[in-house]
Structure 1
């Protein structure tokens, strides 16, 4: 029996929540003691992530609820909405970090302990990579786990840049470039913000596309079109009109065929629908399929 993707999703989110809380709290303390703005920035990024993981957990539970009279199609929109919040919050954190870095540069730089910065960067990057490895499997089936994977990937990149910057600062101070070394820490924040911004933008774009009922990813769209084409060949039907969109784990598919009057019965339409549904049903998605044979082109065309 195939594993339930929802249980994998829940475990992945709970792990992310636990590690985010522990690492974020440690980063804040570490940043205050070392005087490093980039470590403080990373800590704030992590602690902001706690709220986002909690939102993802609520979204996952909401998306699983059964349809009601008020929500006859269910609440699968909670998933892309949570992804949008992930992207928007990540962008807001980057703007805050970049603004703080500019202020530090204007005020003459930072006197952060370079050795402490290097140690933190290595520890944080190692933990981020471990979490990324764990999330890689669930992320194939869950958009919420995928959003967490993107966030941890951004965190790993930030931590690696922290470590590299700390090494650079150590070298500069040993070569009597103390004044220039003071600017390494805030410059790192600016570089990290620029590097992570595309990831945050991608999350926001992905969530907005789903909420606006955009077409599903190319591979999924190709599978749907192949199933519709196979039905047309099997029952000698004309080329189908195919529409599809994905909302969280719900996959909406509409396949329409324009046929001649008097040639088809309701049970024939049922057989075509069953043919398409059997080829698209999967444990990965909850399929909502509509297959229609119509003699009126105005009912099925845009």
Structure 2
């Protein structure tokens, strides 16, 4: 692991620990407040945060395993732990939202349950400020880690949920005081349903990302464009034909295969090494742990 990669790994660990502490504080507050006030939306918020603690801890262990690098048992390293952690986070969050959604629908069908809307406003403000502060703090780390990215997405969703609580509760208070409608009984289940809908893209995105990497799918379009730009530059530099390029990303590791088809007897091994060095040097600024296979061959059938 290069010094730059070691620095990024340290930033990743610090960010994950910070997220765990914040989730424990806000999640604990939500559960206690939710039980005391019998507000399902607060219990959802607390469960969302506390489940996240276990998943973040797993992510932290995954990061440590990845840092150990290749071993005899895992000659290519254990980078697959990273997308696995992201996938599990998506599964757990999706399960939490589905349960909360079903519970809210049942409560709504039963006529709702009156709640203390002013208490909901106060909690929502505290939670929104706390979640937003953690979100900004993690963004400022500048980490491009998938694990930190998952935490950022989770805290952004938590902040949106809290803002939704405040808005919904304020609307209910206004309607309750200005009309004869009794809407307080429906505030809690309606807010839970709206929150589940608003938060749904977060676990969906985590699931998509985790599955794509575990199935060895191609990296994001942005990464592909950056890699392709380097390969095109090397191709033009050495006067090579269009290569066959394959790539996949697992955690911080980028696997790349570039196959150039050349004319017989025109290239030496040292020339091939020059091409390899040029590609590796061009990709270094991307910051990935690179596993690159750059080959020159005279037989296209060997690389197709």
Tell me if 1:251 matches 2:262.
no
Tell me if 1:184 matches 2:209.
no
> Counterpart of 2:128?
125
Alignment of 1:90-109 (within 5 A): 90-109=93-112
* Counterpart selection for 1:295 from 271, 292, 298: 298
2:179 & 2:36 partners in 1: Cα distance? 24
8 Å CA contact retained: 2:135, 2:155:
yes
> Counterpart of 1:278?
281
* Counterpart selection for 1:69 from 69, 72, 79: 72
2:40 & 2:226 partners in 1: Cα distance? 48
Q: Tell me the TM-score normalised to structure 1 length.
A: 0.96
Q: Secondary structure at the match of 1:288?
A: strand
Q: What is the CA distance between 1:177 and its match in structure 2?
A: 4.1
> Counterpart of 1:198?
201
> Counterpart of 1:83?
86
> Counterpart of 1:58?
61
Q: Which runs of 5+ in 2 are unaligned?
A: none
8 Å CA contact retained: 1:30, 1:39:
yes
1:75 & 1:280 partners in 2: Cα distance? 22
Q: Deviations over 1:209-258 (max 9, x none)?
A: 11111111122111211111111111111111111111000011111100
1:9 & 1:249 partners in 2: Cα distance? 11
* Counterpart selection for 2:137 from 127, 134, 139: 134
Alignment of 1:15-26 (within 5 A): 15-26=18-29
1:145 & 1:96 partners in 2: Cα distance? 26
1:177 & 1:67 partners in 2: Cα distance? 68
> Counterpart of 1:48?
51
Q: Secondary structure at the match of 1:281?
A: helix
1:286 & 1:193 partners in 2: Cα distance? 37
Q: What is the CA distance between 1:178 and its match in structure 2?
A: 5.6
Q: What is the CA distance between 1:180 and its match in structure 2?
A: 2.3
Q: Tell me the TM-score normalised to structure 2 length.
A: 0.95
Higher mean displacement: 167-176 or 180-189: 167-176
1:178 & 1:139 partners in 2: Cα distance? 49
Question: Runs of at least 4 residues of structure 1 off by over 4 A?
Answer: none
> Counterpart of 1:260?
263
8 Å CA contact retained: 1:5, 1:284:
no
Tell me if 1:163 matches 2:156.
no
User: What is the root-mean-square deviation in Å for CA atoms of aligned residues?
Assistant: 1.5
